[in-house]
Structure 1
């Protein structure tokens, strides 16, 4: 039986654990210290089709990642698990200039040809919008797409880990290479490793003479609880700027998340940042003032020098696979990235071309100055 270890139980690690568990003669062990997961501070939006990023490889991954959720949800449901953490609620985009809405509408129509998941596309007036979604403010027109989804990331990862049946060991770990080409973590040995530890990847690879350009990005988010609003009836709201407003079906509305590149691995909540997010959201969703309770979350994302994600086999470490640099699109591209690495662990050719997301672009050998 092939023994596979996964370091990191976020969206990538939990998805990999689930799909490896569906393979024959594979036993999975997951190691995770439970701190700082990016998934805990993820905004929970699956809607990549309106991105204007020029990185074609990233968009391909994101587009396929959105589509992959249909398979992921179908597989979990087939295995008897609840999947109500995923909901195609639709999305409303608000821009500071109306001509930008027209441009995004035309872009989405073109992209819909290869991504029918986008669903219905409409430009709605203020009157049409509030007739459907009373209480929204701060715009003249919006662009609506019915196929966008919201995801409760923490519930998704919890479901995936439960569905995998994998043993989960709490704690921060590293690994050693054995004389016979296997890998040791503590007293255990494994045939293959998946490093899904996000922004902590440099700390692990440094011990093996590799310096990977991955940095931590702090993300903070506000959660508002209501007992009188049918929050599940609202779509995701994406105003112009950094914040997003995500109404979930359990009386919760989330606002965030921040993108802080200068805080390192600090997980301290910053009330100033959280208050600023609320100030930016209130003009669009004034009901936030009526919340009966408010909570806060924080997590650490991983980003690279050019903000490109990567995955694949680590040079010089056969059968060790790593992924990182997913940034704020982790919930969108995390599952499909994990699925590609499962194919690689099992000796299959992944659907995405690894050379487009090569780790080597972000690696250099550590020079021993001694």
Structure 2
């Protein structure tokens, strides 16, 4: 079977890996425009604390978290995955009670979260933290390096026979894939083997059908409403470039569209309007010279930016939650929000060196928890993971691969099916 995967983020890379492993002839196409969300994600894998009243969201992210240990073993290389645990922190210990009850309720069906315990002095585990915080520890939580996962999946797919091409992919009304090569840019294959250093801007393309007013799950521990003016600042760009149908056709029996926030525009020629829209997240990387931060736990405050440590004395702080359209920019307001909230939780980072800022457009599917399923008899769509792309991305890719191959997916996808079907 010949399958074209449009998009080489973590979902598309996961789909390519599983498809090629099953013997399919796979071509991955990505325009390599700036703006992919994968690299800008912090890398938190801790699904048990979120979506208390949304079983469909929780099921997908829980299974995505369970998927990682096996994937790490299969890939056989360092993707930055480590079970470092997560500290849920609050200034008032009373604020921890709802999430404590949620974890207690979910633990029997998710023992991989570990035994949740109180931590009397959280700064012993994450030294920059304020001494005024109360905390509970979820030991099963993990962190992962998003770009490392994506690159490892693509490398493995290429070893299994997949081809990775750089270009702008569009769909004809019958689902045929057309690719227009991009001139003056390095081939994606170079990026797969040698990831770029430094910051990366965010790309621009439109979701069909406009953007709803809601800003996201209000009852989730780490993805509540925006904190500050960053979310209401005027967007520099609200419209995405439209694609023409011109280009060179690629033979395909099936197509998986995993184009993130740009999925709506890619699929529009099929005659469907997918309400997928971008949610901007700005994130900051800081370094603490000479400090071993590799095994510091993830810090999840009740509201506001999270913090987590990585090797190389690096601490990540983020991210903003901004519904500002396709505006791929790091802003003064966004950085102010991240820095102010980060220092409130961890004043010990005051002297840290700002090493890098990143920004990504997370794909959000307005009607439901995610968008996974067939659009036509030839086209499967997989996107809408919002802030949980690094948690559920590889697993979502596996689901999409199963659908493209005509196999039974590993979970019931009815809650994630496109509303247009």
Q: Give TM-score scaled by structure 1 length.
A: 0.89
Cα 1:255–1:131 shift into 2, 3 Å: closer
Is 1:304 paired with 2:303?
no
The aligned residue for residue 321 of structure 1 is: 380
User: Which residue pairs with 1:284 in the alignment?
Assistant: 345
Name the structure 1 match of 2:90. 95
Q: Aligned pair in 2 of structure 1 residues 104, 219: CA closer, same or farther (>3 Å)? A: same
SS where residue 63 of structure 2 aligns? helix
Gaps of 5+ in 2: 180-247
For residues 177 and 378 of structure 2, the distance between their equivalents in structure 1, rounded to whole angstroms, comes to 9
Q: Corresponding residue for 2:220?
A: none
Rounded to whole Å, the distance in 1 between the matches of 2:171 and 2:289 is 48
2:251 aligned to 189, 193, 198, which one? 189
Tell me if structure 2 keeps the 8 A contact 1:45–1:151.
Answer: yes
SS at match of 1:266: coil
Q: Deviations over 1:293-347 (max 9, x none)?
A: 4211011111122452120110xx2131101221111111212111111111222
Unaligned runs of 5+ in 1: 365-370
Partner of 2:172: 176
Q: 1:4 offset after TM fit, Å?
A: 1.0
Counterpart of 1:162? 155
When you count helix as a share of all residues, which structure comes out higher? 1
Match of 1:367 in 2: none
Bigger Cα displacement from structure 2, 100-109 vs 222-231: 100-109
* Number of residue pairs matched by the alignment: 349
Give the Cα separation in 2 of the matches to 1:312 and 1:91: 32
Whole-angstrom distance in 2 between the partners of 1:266 and 1:235: 32
Tell me how far apart the structure 2 counterparts of residues 202 and 327 of structure 1 sit (CA, whole Å). 15
Q: 1:153 aligns with which of 146, 163, 177?
A: 146
Specify whether residues 233 and 70 from structure 1 end up closer, same or farther in structure 2 by C-alpha distance, changes over 3 A only.
Answer: closer
2:418 paired residue among 345, 359, 363? 359
Instruction: Determine the C-alpha separation between the residues in 2 that align with 1:41 and 1:290.
Output: 23
Shift of 1:15: 0.7
CA distance in 2, matches of 1:90, 1:261: 30
Q: Which string of whole-angstrom CA distances, capped at 9 and with x for unpartnered residues, describes residues 214-264 of structure 1?
A: 1111111111123211111310111121311111122211111111112x2
Partner of 2:135: 142
Which residue pairs with 1:65 in the alignment?
A: 64
Query: Displacement of 1:84 after TM fit?
Result: 4.3
Residues 39-78 of structure 1 correspond to what in structure 2 (within 5 A)? 39-77=38-76
Alignment partner, residue 104 of structure 1: 99
Distance in 1 separating the partners of 2:80 and 2:326? 28
Correspondence 1:339 to 2:398:
yes
TM-aligned CA deviation for residue 283 of structure 1: 2.5
**Matched-pair contact (CA < 8 Å) for 1:310–1:325:** yes
Going from structure 1 to structure 2, the CA distance change for 1:328 and 1:189 (only over 3 Å counts) comes to same
Report the counterpart of residue 27 of structure 1 in structure 2: 25
Tell me which of 65, 81, 89 is aligned to 1:86: 81
8 Å Cα contact 2:170/2:177 also seen in 1: no
Deviates more, 1:301-310 or 1:270-279: 301-310
* Preserved contact between residue 93 and residue 237 of structure 1 (Cα < 8 Å): yes
- Mapped partners of 1:104, 1:20: distance in 2: 38
Give the aligned partner of residue 409 of structure 2.
Answer: 350
Matched, 1:18 2:77: no
The one-character-per-residue Cα deviations of 1:133-186 (angstroms, maximum 9, x if unpaired) are 4332153420101110111101111111111103221222102366xx865542
Aligned residue in 2 for 1:368: none
- Is the contact made by 2:177 and 2:249 (CA closer than 8 Å) also made in structure 1? no
Q: Distance in 2 between matches of 1:318 and 1:328?
A: 29
What is the root-mean-square deviation of aligned Cα atoms in Å?
A: 1.9
**Moved runs in structure 1, 4+ residues, more than 4 A?**
181-185
Quote the Cα distance in structure 2 between the aligned partners of 1:101 and 1:337. 31
Q: 1:83, CA displacement in angstroms?
A: 2.5
Aligned mates of 1:66, 1:160 — CA distance in 2: 16
Once the two structures are TM-superposed, the CA of residue 352 in structure 1 deviates from its matched residue by: 1.5
Give the SS at the match of 1:38. coil
Mapped partners of 1:108, 1:139: distance in 2:
23
> 1:334-365 CA deviation, whole Å, 9 max, x = no partner?
121111111112221112212111112xx39x
